[in-house]
Amino acid sequence: GAAGLRARRSVRAPTSVHALAPCHRAAFSSKSDKSSAKLSAFDGVDGIIQYANRCTARLPSYERYKKENVFPPSGFDFLNFFLFIKLQLPTSTEIDACEFLNGAQFACDLTMNTMYLPEFVNYATGAITESPAAETLRRGLSPECFDAFLFGMRESSKIGNSFELKKLDINGVFLHGVEWERMTLAELRRDEQMRRAAAQQDAADPTSPPAIDGSAPADDEEALKTMVERMRIDVLFESKEHLHVRMAEGEDQDIIKDSQAVWRFESLVTQPSDVDWRIVSVF
């Protein structure tokens, strides 16, 4: 059950990319809202009423989330409830937080294990040009996040030290933040273009402002009228990394590193069929 998920556990690092699951691209449990509600909380009085009805109807889920430790132990009840009601903002898609965190834990675990594989490090440094490990990461990360991982590996390899993840203890996976947006398809495309440009600029020269490609095709009429919904969910991931470090000076050492990071997942949630969670940042 999800309660057991929060218990301390050890996950052994795979010895090769073939030991990894084929893909961590997943819906993480999203289902259709069976009600006729199609208005958002920002669509006037009727929208507010329908949103309030969704929150009220799903209150049993909030009690279940508290029992199954979805929220951080240090969280205040009113903040936890605020996270819960923000999860109900999508008009046609219901997100189950327990099942989402199951999927998020799998994605974080797989990403951590994959990024330490020698094969991925060799790909990041340009020693090889094809890598199943890199493709595994590419499927579960946004393009910007994947490029950031590559950049980080390249920079760390310049020091001359190498790291091997011997074991990963997952001590906690908690709901940390929720954001929901409603926009036109044209606005979504422009936002994604801006983020790609900023990521490319950071990789080339972090001190310069991003250059926006003005040659992008103009938005069509349908894109200007079509409304989409996007959600970002932040997951607090607490772990202990057991690392074997090969030093540039020739000395090896084993270290245990306590880690606490927020992993941000993002997906369209306009309809359940649109849901495809990807990791967009780690901070």
Tens-place pLDDT, residues 167-205: 999 999 999 999 999 999 999 999 988 888 876 776 665
Q: Is 212 within a domain?
A: no
Q: Are 215 and 207 contacting, i.e. CB atoms less than 8 angstroms apart?
A: no
Residue 226 included in any domain: yes
- Determine the pLDDT at residue 134: 96
Look up the CATH number of the domain holding residue 118. 3.10.450
Q: Which of 198, 195, 206 is nearest to 278 (CA)?
A: 195
The pTM for the full model equals 0.82
Q: Is residue 86 part of a domain?
A: no
- Let me know if residue 1 belongs to a domain: no
Segments in the chain below pLDDT 50: 1-26, 37
153: containing domain: 10-28+94-207+219-282
Asked whether residue 41 is domain-assigned, the answer is no
pLDDT at position 1: 40
**Quick one: pLDDT at residue 34?**
58
Q: Exposure string (b/e) for 108-118, b if CB count within 10 Å is 16 or more? A: bbbbbbbbbbe
Q: Give a yes or no: residue 172 inside a domain.
A: yes
Residue-wise pLDDT for 203-239, tens only, equals 665 555 555 555 555 668 888 999 999 999 999 999 9
Domain tally for the chain? 1
Residue 81 lies in a domain: no
Q: Which of 156, 170, 157, 163 is nearest to 258 (CA)?
A: 170
Per-residue tokens: 207: 């001190």
Does some domain include residue 139?
yes
Structure tokens at 184: 């036109």
